[in-house]
Amino acid sequence: MRDTNFLRASLSRRSLASGMSKTLFEKICDREIPGDIVHEDELCVCFRDITPQAPIHLILVPRRPIPRIAETVVEDEPLIGHLLVTAAKVARDQGFADAGFRIVVNNGPDGGETVPHLHIHILAGRQLGWPPG
């Protein structure tokens, strides 16, 4: 596995080199702003949402910023798969997998996206209704 500090530095340089400022989620991943982190690995970070929409509301983000799911490419497939497997792992580790949970990916303004950095909402802790929204 790659050295995590090298990966973080590489991601930060990529954002800065592209002329983009860091997203809120990049700043949490890089510990520039605080976050209640429940899981992290070389590819992603999971933390509690500061405005929870359910008793348990976690945000799972890739360290490498991708603006939204509609902008993924085939090369992102392993990362997207890793995010889904990690969502299940976090649910098990946090003790709510058996009771059930929902994962949500918002895309664009009409989809409810507020941060242009692909992320998965993990919602649990109560019966979730259908349809959402």
Helix (H) or strand (E) holding 37: strand 37-40
Task: Map tokens 């918002």 to a residue.
Answer: 106
The rounded distance, in Å, linking the Cα atoms of 47 and 45 is 7
The rounded distance, in Å, linking the Cα atoms of 55 and 124 is 6
Catalytic residues: 119
Decide: helix, strand or coil at residue 95.
Answer: coil
77 and 86 Cβ atoms separated by less than 8 Å:
no
The rounded distance, in Å, linking the Cα atoms of 83 and 54 is 20
